[in-house]
Amino acid sequence: MGIIYRDLHSAELHRIAEIDRAEEILERYYMQNGELQLRPDQQIVTHFDKDELEEIIRRQHKLIDTGGRVIGAFNQNTLVGVASVEGVKRGARNNYLKMDILYVSKNIRGQKAGQNLLEQCKIIAKNLGAEKLYISATPTKNTVDFYLKNGAVITKEIDPELFALEPEDIHLELKVG
C-alpha cells in the first residue's frame, strides 16, 4: 500500500511530531550579489526542537483558521510528510500564496513524497486564485536544491514581512499553473 495524501485537520496537527526530520547537513546557501553561494555548515538535526514544533503547530492552526490548508502524507497510519499553504494572498499584485512548511520523514526521502506534497500545494494555491507559491526556504543545500529541481526560482518580489522573519532563508517562487 502506498502513501496516502489528505488534509490534516486542526485536531490532528500534533501529529507533525511523528515526522522523523533527522538530517545531516553539510552545506548551506546564502545570497551574495543576487547569486546563490554555498558554504560549509556541518550540522546534525535529530528531531524537532520542542519550541520549534510548538511554533510550527501554532502557525498551522492559524493557517487553517485563515483559509489555508495543511496536507499530510501517511504511510499506513503514520504521518511521514506534511506541507501547508496559507490562505492569505501576498505580493504587490496579490498573486502569491506562501507555502509555510514542507517536511518529509528521513526514511521516505527520495521516494517522491516531497514532490507529491509540493504538487498538492501548487494545486491548492491555484484553486485559491494564486499564480505562484512564495517559499521562504531553509538555506540548507538539500532543501534549496529540492525546490530548484522542482522548478522554483529566486523570487522576483521579496516579501518584506517574510524576509524580516527569516533573512537568512532563500526566498523562492514557484509557478502553480
Which uninterrupted H or E stretch holds 13?
Answer: none
Report the relative pairing of strands 132-137 and 96-104 from DSSP bridges.
parallel
CA distances from 147 to 14, 55, 102, 138 (A): 26, 23, 11, 11
Q: Give 126's DSSP letter.
A: H
> Residue 34's pLDDT is what?
87
> Residue 130's pLDDT is what?
97
Q: Could you give the domains of the chain?
A: 4-175 (3.40.630.30)
Tens of pLDDT, residue by residue, the chain (177 residues): 689 999 999 999 999 999 999 999 999 999 998 899 999 999 999 999 999 999 999 999 999 999 999 999 999 999 999 999 999 999 999 999 999 999 999 999 999 999 999 999 999 999 999 999 999 999 999 999 999 999 999 999 999 999 999 999 999 999 998
